[in-house]
Amino acid sequence: MKIKKVVLLIISVFALQTLAFAQDKTKQYWFFWSHRQQLNEKFDLLFDAQSRSEEKLGQFQTLLLRSALAYNFDKFHSLAIGYAYKGDWMEDEGYTYEHRIYQQYQYEFKIKRIEFQLRGRLEERFLHESGNAFSMRTRGFVSAAFPLIADQEFTSGVYAGLQNELFLNILNQKDVNGHLFDQNRPYVSIGYRFSKKVETTFDYGLIADQAYQKRTLISVFRISLNTQF
């Protein structure tokens, strides 16, 4: 139970920090699909895709495609190495893009029926927007899923979710936003698990985003689909 309290405390502290962060406010609408394809007992292929729109739903702004090969030490611990491509359609600057190589460690566990996930990720970023600059960023992620109306094994049913992710620039900060702090992303969710293989959630989040000269608080409305086969 101690781990459970620590995870919830981390989510709560950074969520409160985010609320105190904003100077400018805006909205975004996201669609997020995450897929895990089992190759055998030890290896999985990971893939996710995200589309993001600004306050006008018809104004498509960002596409993110990410894939990885994961090695499972057991049912709790895994390591992965992957590649991501992010493209942005900027109103004033045209189209910009970014290549990323990343490595991640993930730990998944349950306390009673509550599911927890901890993830650490290191990203090597190649930024076209900054004149083909190179930067590195680290990300720490924590989440919890609480069954509300679900079967005893939590293989299907309605659940609530909490999560948070912290982003820190650790190399060549001058080529991104000039700061160690990059972003913080707390979310709350309501979801439905159809089976162990398919689930969907409606998420609301606040992104505290640090730019060179200003701070922005972004309200995010997101639909997520998670599949694994």
- Residue 74 corresponds to which tokens in the numbers above? 């057991």
- The amino acid that residue 214 corresponds to is K
Choose the weakest-confidence range: 23-27, 34-38, 55-59, 69-73. Answer: 55-59
Contact between residue 182 and residue 137 where contact means Cβ atoms under 8 Å apart = yes
Is it the case that residue 143 has pLDDT exceeding 80?
Answer: yes
* Confidence band for 213, pLDDT divided at 50, 70 and 90: confident
> What mean pLDDT is reported for the chain?
89
Exposure of 41 by Cβ count < 10 A (0-12 exposed, 13-18 middle, 19+ buried)?
exposed
Cα separation, 102 vs 86, in Å, equals 13
Contact between residue 167 and residue 202 where contact means Cβ atoms under 8 Å apart = no
Name the 3-class secondary structure at 94.
Answer: strand
CA angle, 31 then 75 then 158, to 5° = 45
Choose the weakest-confidence range: 20-24, 53-57, 172-176. Answer: 20-24
* Confidence band for 119, pLDDT divided at 50, 70 and 90: very high
**pLDDT digit string (tens) for 47-76?**
999 999 976 666 778 999 999 999 999 999
